[in-house]
Structure 1
Amino acid sequence: MPLSQTLEDNGENIVDRLYYNGKIYSIDNENRKYTALGIEKGKIAFLGDDKEALAIDADEKIDLKGKTVLPGFVDSHLHMLNYAFVKQSYIMQSAKSIEEIIRAGREIAKTMSGENPEKWIYGRGWNEVNFTDEKRDLTRFDLDRISTDRPILFIRVCGHKAAVNSKALKIIMALEQTEDYIEQIDEENGILTEASVKLCYNAMKEPSVEQIKDMILSAQRDLNAAGITGVETDNFLSLPGRNSYRIMTAYKELENENKLTLRVREQASFTAFEHMRKFIDDGNTTGNGGEYYKIGPVKLYEDGSLGARTALMNSCYTGTDTYGVAVHDRDDIYCMVDYAYKSNMQVLVHAIGDKASDMVMDAYERSVQKYGKRDARLAINHLQIVSSNLFDRMKKYDVLAYIQPLFVASDKNIVAGLVGNEAEERSYMWKTMLKKGLICCGGSDSPVEDFDILSNIQIAVTRDALNEKTEGWYPEQKLTVEEAVRLFTINNAYGAFEENRRGSIEIEKDADLTVLSDDIFEADPHEISRIKIAATIVAGRTVYEA
């Protein structure tokens, strides 16, 4: 393997750092494999075998001792700041009963007894499916047993439904904005759905720029430790105050202070047209920013979640007369997509139910036909249940699929009960997407799910929960290990318009790398999640080492 042009031009075979005795998988178009790799000024400068590496002088030589090196892992969709916010609060994913939640809530209330009574008790992650006492939603009557003096917000695991106590409900109902979301509020039971969930953030104390910076750094440490070198993150609706400009300021200041070790692409999320338009009119454009923080797509929402029965379906949920929730009617989603597309923004829309993704695709087709086709890399997020012709429509317009394989483990036992067997057969069709020629970008939707990419890859390959070992749920939809790895490397680079800089290990590309303790391609597919992250490297700098 020849040296890079840069080294040849210098007439010196010198790199900053040389790795050897490894298993280096390039994930390039030819799936080349190497044993040695050189980095110079944050770029890949040499690729070859150990014998060729002997001719290279390096400031530092590192024996990989047989470890595996992959392009740096990237998560295409999570909520980085909400993850950090939840981390500071009551994490409820493991709660097995309503009574357990009430007991834990009372303990939290005790610890806050000396604090301002207007400070909220906040938690996220409950799931009625896991309750062993009563399999029902939390209500204000449950939360009132914790406290009637301090406002409480407990958000369901999906983020699309929440329960509040009577004190919080009174605050919410007094907000001027609440009138616009009144249909999403069950006032009797204190249950909020969809955009009304975020109303609570309007009443909570808004964090300062310095507090946001602390949250970013906390989440960054955890993400780097998971082998992650980059993320696309939906932040604007994730914190009290929902202050997008304060959030952007925090990231930009950290980048200017050289404190970011994670490449962050902002999925600029909006639920109202006027907010999105102001953001665009203020000069924010996809791609604007620096090496570590930049603007990505406009992020919109068309429906909710399956578990909350707010995903928008073409047919009723089993045993009900409800079809789910349309966050925007047809005219609204047309208007938002139209403005973003003509403003040269990339667009990503949340759509879980089949009717939701049909409506999003209608809006994309209309905008492309109106303004002409360009390399916009429009995308649909989630795509959990789809109409039979959707993938062909997406392929025609080069629409990307942002998917979260972890959802298979979480939802496979409830889908048929929610929407019936026929719709279940049209769910989580990752392999079919690839066969149809779609580019699929892998993500976690953290804190809805864990951002552990190795777990995500294992579930994509096995179609089993992590603790299972079966033939897999709809095994024809299993991905190969290579296909699953590509979801979180080169495909995500493509989704970010960065495939020429990142996503594969090639000469002159950025040295963003994930080092694994074991060979992911030789491991038992059901043991992939047990592989350890040995190191995380961003722009040639080791930002995590086990």
Structure 2
Amino acid sequence: MATLWTGGTIYTMAKVGETVEAVLEQDGKIVATGSVKGLLPQAASIQQLHGCVMYPGFVDSHLHIIGYGEKLKHIDVSNVKSKDQLLAIIRQRMVTATPEEWIIAIGLNETQFLAPVFPTLAELDALGKAHLIIKRSCHHLILANSKALAFAEITNDTPSPEGGIIDKVNGQVTGVLKDAALYMIVNQMPHITPAYLEDALGKAVTSLQSYGLVGGHSEDLSYYGPPIQPIAAFRKIVEEQRSFKVHLLQHHAVFEEVVQLHEQSSLFVEFGAMKIFIDGAFGGRTAALRKPYCDEPDNSGMLVHSTEQLEAYVQLARKYGQTVAVHAIGDLAITTIVEVFAKYPPQEGQLDRVIHCSLVDKDILQKLTVLPVAVDMQPQFVQGEYKAELARLGKQRAEGLHPLKSLLAHGLIVAGGSDAPIEEPNPLHGIYAAVTRRNFGELHDGYGAKEKISRFEAVSLYTVGAAEIIGQHHVRGKIEAGYTADFTVFEEDIFKVDIEKVPHINVAYTVIEGQIVYAKTKKRCEE
């Protein structure tokens, strides 16, 4: 039974401005595109767009879906503007909690404070008797109270693990844990049960659908008990319900374990590249730099792994015919992995992935250009902490901060994501950030304005680019015959409305395999 989608503007994303009058869909696939007159005789039903605007289904190329669901479950402190406000919000939850409970706050950004300082361990302990962790917005740093530190057996004498930092002042723990050190707590929390994961995942998928997202590339398999546990949650919530298309990256620590499970990819749950973290983030000054931080001259960040370890991980992925996706933010981190990729390339036709690629120069861009590598960017990163990053890096280095235009100009495949729960997984927010490079409501020319891109290029990050980066560009990312019938339908035209209105455009429908999985209940489009 074929359905004809028509009655609105339909962008194919095959080239700038290309539209079609109608799309014929059957059994989840696009059969043909063209005119209503030409396609109507083949249709058994008509799906009217009512003047709305249809695009290929938007995909977030980098997020943590279960982690985003956790943010929806727990205390969101991303808009907190002072330390006192942070403590007051958490105290409300702590005073009613039992000593056995875990209280989790997510999204702390101390650079929004007038005085950008973290609470002390004593201040955290005074809030209550439950276990407490506060995740910084970058998710490369947490604050833990003494109850949570004791759970992980972290004391003043505990050495920092490889690739992480247990922060201490005068030999005393502060409650601040960075990168690998935070997993000593986060990966061991006892409340991570199948029911907990299914609840978080269900909340996340519902929210993502409401933003017009039909899928996401997610990394969740090493944080929630043995990897079969989150995999089972994805099978139950995503695959059985045919509600979302998930491409799962596999953390190097569990990569072989997942391989040995012999889990098969499906239309809704795919298994993708090995994921490796090379460095930290600018927020905690753990992103690996070739020269020290301007505001901390004795610190150049850190590499989580040695070059020899990275080579071993990459060779392991190659052993199983797999690509590698690498978190690399600082210029030293990017340079390091680029050299490893050059030494151990993937199979013909495959692409490795550099995630974030946040600080580049001409030399790095040239090295990326000659490799079979794609770049996974988060346009919103240019918004929240740009001024703080400018202070950390200096004006000259910041010329290469969060590049977009430069990557595209060098012919690289670039996909767009949010890194949710770090940023809001609304692709319209990412599109706005990519086009303007400024925060909502600001009127300047943009942070690093030379890296601004066009609206078409920005939408392509979430459609064509998201498909290309996983080798699915022949079946996803465009509205053409033979492609998957995944559509994102908005009430207004991203390409035509005032740019300041783009973040506020409403989603009318989210369509996966020809089925509407989300529909706005209020008055739509021309109705």
TM range (shorter): over 0.9
Q: 1:181 is paired with a residue of what secondary structure?
A: coil
Determine the C-alpha separation between the residues in 2 that align with 1:104 and 1:29.
Answer: 49
Rate the CA distance shift 1:537–1:222 in 2: closer, same or farther, 3 A: same
Instruction: Show the 5 A alignment for 1:361-376.
Output: 361-368=338-345, 374-376=348-350
Q: CA deviation at 1:86?
A: 2.0
Which residue number corresponds to residue 244 of structure 1?
227
Stretches of structure 2 lacking an aligned partner (at least 5 in a row): 521-527
Which residue number corresponds to residue 68 of structure 2?
83
* Aligned partner of 1:519 among 484, 490, 493: 493
Q: 1:76 is paired with a residue of what secondary structure?
A: strand
Which residue number corresponds to residue 166 of structure 1?
146
Rate the CA distance shift 1:30–1:163 in 2: closer, same or farther, 3 A: closer
Instruction: Show the 5 A alignment for 1:474-485.
Output: 474-485=448-459
Q: CA deviation at 1:278?
A: 3.6
Letter in 2 for 1:363: V
* Aligned partner of 1:137 among 114, 118, 129: 118
Letter in 2 for 1:346: T
Which residue number corresponds to residue 539 of structure 1?
513
Q: 1:169-226: CA deviations, max 9, x gaps?
A: 2222359xx7671761014211100011122124411433233222222111111110
Determine the C-alpha separation between the residues in 2 that align with 1:498 and 1:459.
Answer: 26
Instruction: Show the 5 A alignment for 1:52-201.
Output: 52-53=38-39, 55-112=40-97, 115=98, 117-132=99-114, 134-147=115-128, 149-173=129-153, 181=161, 184-187=165-168, 188-201=173-186
Q: 1:394-416: CA deviations, max 9, x gaps?
A: 12112100000001111322222
Q: 1:92-142: CA deviations, max 9, x gaps?
A: 101111111111121101232xx4x2221111111111113x311233122
Q: 1:326-362: CA deviations, max 9, x gaps?
A: 1112211121112112321121000000000111111
Which residue number corresponds to residue 310 of structure 1?
286
Rate the CA distance shift 1:191–1:174 in 2: closer, same or farther, 3 A: closer
Deviates more, 1:153-162 or 1:389-398: 389-398
The answer (yes or no) to whether the contact 1:344–1:376 under 8 Å persists in 2 is no
Instruction: Show the 5 A alignment for 1:277-316.
Output: 277-283=256-262, 288-316=264-292
Rate the CA distance shift 1:189–1:180 in 2: closer, same or farther, 3 A: closer
Determine the C-alpha separation between the residues in 2 that align with 1:337 and 1:417.
Answer: 34
Which residue number corresponds to residue 195 of structure 2?
210
Q: 1:483-540: CA deviations, max 9, x gaps?
A: 1111000111111221111110001211000001011111122321121111000000
The answer (yes or no) to whether the contact 1:430–1:478 under 8 Å persists in 2 is yes
Q: 1:94 is paired with a residue of what secondary structure?
A: coil
The answer (yes or no) to whether the contact 1:379–1:402 under 8 Å persists in 2 is yes
Which residue number corresponds to residue 523 of structure 2?
none
The answer (yes or no) to whether the contact 1:439–1:491 under 8 Å persists in 2 is yes
Q: 1:457 is paired with a residue of what secondary structure?
A: helix
Which residue number corresponds to residue 337 of structure 1?
314
The answer (yes or no) to whether the contact 1:212–1:250 under 8 Å persists in 2 is yes
Determine the C-alpha separation between the residues in 1 that align with 2:55 and 2:152.
Answer: 48
Determine the C-alpha separation between the residues in 2 that align with 1:434 and 1:89.
Answer: 38
Q: CA deviation at 1:57?
A: 4.9
Q: 1:429 is paired with a residue of what secondary structure?
A: coil
Q: CA deviation at 1:281?
A: 4.8
Which residue number corresponds to residue 249 of structure 2?
267
Q: 1:353-393: CA deviations, max 9, x gaps?
A: 0000111111111112xxx7522210100011124311221
Instruction: Show the 5 A alignment for 1:492-507.
Output: 492-507=466-481
Determine the C-alpha separation between the residues in 2 that align with 1:362 and 1:456.
Answer: 30
Q: Does 1:25 align with 2:11?
A: yes
Question: Percent identity over the alignment?
Answer: 27
Determine the C-alpha separation between the residues in 2 that align with 1:297 and 1:390.
Answer: 22
Determine the C-alpha separation between the residues in 1 that align with 2:42 and 2:262.
Answer: 46
Q: CA deviation at 1:51?
A: 3.6
Instruction: Show the 5 A alignment for 1:319-358.
Output: 319-320=295-296, 321-358=298-335
Q: 1:155 is paired with a residue of what secondary structure?
A: strand
Q: CA deviation at 1:451?
A: 0.4
Deviates more, 1:65-74 or 1:333-342: 333-342
Q: CA deviation at 1:307?
A: 1.3
Determine the C-alpha separation between the residues in 2 that align with 1:38 and 1:325.
Answer: 53
The answer (yes or no) to whether the contact 1:511–1:537 under 8 Å persists in 2 is yes
Rate the CA distance shift 1:75–1:474 in 2: closer, same or farther, 3 A: same
Rate the CA distance shift 1:102–1:355 in 2: closer, same or farther, 3 A: same
Under a length normalisation based on structure 2, what TM-score does the superposition of the two structures give?
0.93
Letter in 2 for 1:119: E
Determine the C-alpha separation between the residues in 2 that align with 1:537 and 1:85.
Answer: 25
Determine the C-alpha separation between the residues in 1 that align with 2:423 and 2:9.
Answer: 30
Q: How many residues align?
A: 512
Q: CA deviation at 1:475?
A: 2.0
Deviates more, 1:229-238 or 1:452-461: 229-238
Determine the C-alpha separation between the residues in 1 that align with 2:381 and 2:232.
Answer: 33
Determine the C-alpha separation between the residues in 2 that align with 1:462 and 1:414.
Answer: 19
The answer (yes or no) to whether the contact 2:295–2:391 under 8 Å persists in 1 is no
* Aligned partner of 2:336 among 359, 371, 396: 359
Deviates more, 1:206-215 or 1:471-480: 206-215
Letter in 1 for 2:200: M
The answer (yes or no) to whether the contact 1:139–1:164 under 8 Å persists in 2 is no
Q: CA deviation at 1:325?
A: 1.6
Rate the CA distance shift 1:473–1:45 in 2: closer, same or farther, 3 A: same
Letter in 1 for 2:60: D
* Aligned partner of 2:399 among 412, 425, 428: 425
Rate the CA distance shift 1:433–1:49 in 2: closer, same or farther, 3 A: same
Letter in 1 for 2:210: A
